[in-house]
Structure 1
Amino acid sequence: MNVTLQTAGFLLRPAQVGDAEPIARYLNDLDVSGNLARVPFPYHLADAKAWLRSRVPGLPAEETNLTIELPGEGLAGHVGFHRGPQGPIIGYWLGKPFWGRGIMTAAVTASLDWFFDATSHDTIYSGVFHFNAASLAIQRKLGFTETGRSQLLCLARNAEVEHIDTKLTRSVWKARAQ
């Protein structure tokens, strides 16, 4: 799906070829990529270009990625959905210069509003590596609940890392908005 969402403070839009340089710059930081399962480190411009080639028009909601674009600052990060063994998974990252500004909470909120309106899925899954307290705080604030712990490969760290598994149901999400 080609989705564009306007929030009070920024735009969520499809990734574009011109995003390769800022994506590579922000993900070539172990403080960012080391919190993500599917991103290698070091992260090169060629990695960003290869990923952008996979972002073709018409992907289903479960494979949609949204670029966070701040007015006057440009690309700040991404929120994305992908298919998992239990159902759709939401993941996200934010470049370090943008941390601590409430951007990701707002971006994930807008993305989940869209996802639950655009699909019939009753549950979305996510999680964080055990050391990522900031991301876990976002998930808890938004109504995600912990479902257990697992070991998950972190490409950037080239290691299996303890992962806190979470999920959010449509009913919890919709009740939150009332």
Structure 2
Amino acid sequence: MISIRTERLILRQPCLDDAPCYALGIGEYEVARFLTPVPYPYSLAMAVDWLRQARPATPQQSTLIIDLPGKGVIGCVSLLSELGFWIARPHWNKGYVTEAATALLDWHFAGCDRDVVMSSAHHDNLASLAVQKKLGFVPARREIRFSQTLQHNVDHVVTTLSRQDWQLRRRA
């Protein structure tokens, strides 16, 4: 079972014991409204179902819990078809998402041959777009996606990060 340690965090595979904290964090409207596939309200049963389907993490594809020692589950970072993340509201603006995503991207690029990673965010999700920019992602295009929470289409900014840009950034 994978566990990645950063300066302040532990990134690990999800387990069913995470369900209550997971549901509380992602279930807050201010978090869920920016997560296109997430319904609102988000229940404990939904968290259990989601955690049951989580596959073992690999550098190619992973979904990892962001665990803050002494506090527990504070969010999630994933790299499936694109890099995605959320953080519970009490932990906003502390650099946790950037720290977790950096560790996941390091593991990803070291362990597979994929040359480009995509990410995206609602056009008005300035915090997520700022994290993506800090990580080196650049805008590639815009597209419309249906938001389960908002129950309407939302303009998304799709961003990309190349392996070469990541490696250059990490050396600097």
> Is TM-score (shorter-chain normalized) higher than 0.5?
yes
For the residue of structure 1 that corresponds to 2:93, the secondary structure is coil
Q: Equivalent of 1:127, from 120, 123, 132?
A: 120
Hey, what does 2:169 align to over in structure 1? 176
Hey, what does 1:66 align to over in structure 2? 64
Hey, what does 1:81 align to over in structure 2? 79
CA offsets 1:124-170 (integer angstroms, 9 cap, x no match): 00111011101101111111000111101111111110001101000
Hey, what does 1:86 align to over in structure 2? none
For the residue of structure 2 that corresponds to 1:177, the secondary structure is helix
Q: Which residues of structure 1 form unaligned runs of 5+?
A: 84-88
Say whether residues 1:117 and 2:115 are aligned partners. no
Amino acid at match of 2:89: K
Measured in 1, the distance between the counterparts of 2:114 and 2:55 equals 22
Say whether residues 1:157 and 2:150 are aligned partners. yes
Amino acid at match of 1:143: G
Measured in 1, the distance between the counterparts of 2:55 and 2:131 equals 29
Measured in 2, the distance between the counterparts of 1:120 and 1:6 equals 23
Count residues in correspondence: 171
Measured in 2, the distance between the counterparts of 1:122 and 1:133 equals 26
Question: Superposed, which structure 2 residues align to 1:91-106 within 5 Å?
Answer: 91-106=84-99
Q: TM-score, normalising length from structure 2?
A: 0.95
Amino acid at match of 1:65: T
- What stretches of structure 1 move > 3 A for 4+ residues in a row? 59-63
62-71 vs 90-99, which deviates more? 62-71
Amino acid at match of 1:112: L
CA offsets 1:61-81 (integer angstroms, 9 cap, x no match): 443111111011110000012
Q: Which residues of structure 2 form unaligned runs of 5+?
A: none
Q: For the Cα contact (< 8 Å) 2:26–2:32, is it kept in 1?
A: yes
Hey, what does 1:5 align to over in structure 2? 4
59-68 vs 116-125, which deviates more? 59-68
